[in-house]
Chain A
């Protein structure tokens, strides 16, 4: 029983990171109708920035918030420079731009910060203050941080005028411009937020994995599985999907398939969801009038 709970808690801790990546993917999907393949690499690059700031003597939390800010601005810039020109272009062109961004960010991480594995210290104590037998300090801390981020994002979209405007712009850009919303800027803000959320996920992942340019490649798959499982058009579905994927992956890894095949769980979930329930658990079926 203890082992089981241990797996569940560590699944929730990982799941919170998948949830954050999944949410970032959904936010961009809602405004562009494409999957941002570069989401993971953008997060890795942000994490490198955080590592560099800490390495040059900055305190962890200062570096953390600075990185979130830089990631936000970076996301806005990426949208304005790379995505906006191809907004109305065919799907294939968009996909190629996303793949190009993936390669560019991956290469920049390696070029600027080199390919050696880097240890990234957790800001949290090793021993957890609550339930120390089931959860580590970093797991509890990263769970807390990602939940806080999700809460802030929720409150932002639910209760601020600009959050409402962003939802309107993503949902119906034509009508949004008819009420005076500057749609392209709202989409850029969405990219900034998604990039910032990704950065948080990366910074929470780095102490678990070691930091290298490919750190988030696997995590992106889990995040993608989370987003699909929850329903690619439903942000809160993606969050729920993240926790489900995290726990499922851990339990299956511990009791059924062994830890080597964990990533397979994500792939099976992706293929399974797409074939059996393409709208996901909480997604909406889109019906178009002919």
Chain B
């Protein structure tokens, strides 16, 4: 069974259609990346999956249809989303952000354990635990955004351009951590990136979007190896 199965997905912003019959799926434990240029519909795809955009088509998550379900219910099923612009609660402290991430959980001990785990993974967040999230640097905020999503103990993590606006060294660090989260905690990921080479190195599967349609898909290494695709679509 696929963790996430998307069939004939279309999405609209007002009268404007942004996605046209997109099909893709994501297997348990995998990392899938969606690549494409600006305006191709990458962010919209993520928004559609957690139903914060207006959609038609069928989306099923852990074998259950989630089309038309409210976002907070989908989140409770184990889907965490790190949106573009990071979506941290800038007026709350780092620790409060993490606690809010675990809002749906009732196991207090588990929550404190997970906060401790996150502080081990991101020592800089421990240093800043009582600081307002808005005062963190861009990289620290991205770490907080990912951590906040992990507090949910998600089955699936949606990541919208985690490298956006960050220094290359920080990007390296964040991608290393994402890899370890996938391998040690078994969290599946759906990753949207503009930095194609970075994303293809991390992912095992890739889809290429162009103006709201899937134009290519396949194992990440095949796409990485195909020079024509790389030159035409990925530009590196």
Contacts and interface: CB of A to CB of B under 8 A. Distances in A.
B103 A180 contact: yes
21 contacts: A164-B100, A165-B103, A167-B89, A171-B90, A175-B88, A175-B89, A177-B70, A178-B71, A178-B75, A178-B80, A179-B100, A179-B101, A179-B103, A179-B148, A179-B151, A179-B152, A180-B72, A180-B76, A180-B103, A181-B100, A182-B70
Given A165-B103, A180-B75, A180-B76, A175 B87 contact: yes
B224 to A, nearest CB: 31
Contacts of A175: 83, 87-89
B104 interface: yes
Contact of B72 (A164, A167, A171, A177): A177
A279 to B, nearest CB: 15
A178 B151 CA distance: 12
Given A177-B72, A177-B75, A182-B72, A168 B100 contact: yes
Contact of B87 (A161, A178, A180, A182): A178
Would you call the interface of chain B mostly helix, strand, loop, or mixed? loop
Would you call the interface of chain A mostly helix, strand, loop, or mixed? helix
Contact of B50 (A171, A172, A178): A178
Nearest to A183: B72
A165 B103 CA distance: 8
A29 to B, nearest CB: 14
Nearest to A167: B92
Interface of A: 161, 164-165, 167-168, 171-172, 174-183
Chain B interface size, under 10 / 10 to 19 / 20 to 34 / 35 or more: 20 to 34
A179 B71 CA distance: 9
A235 to B, nearest CB: 12
Given A174-B83, A175-B83, A180 B152 contact: yes
Contacts of A181: 72, 100, 103
Nearest to A284: B91
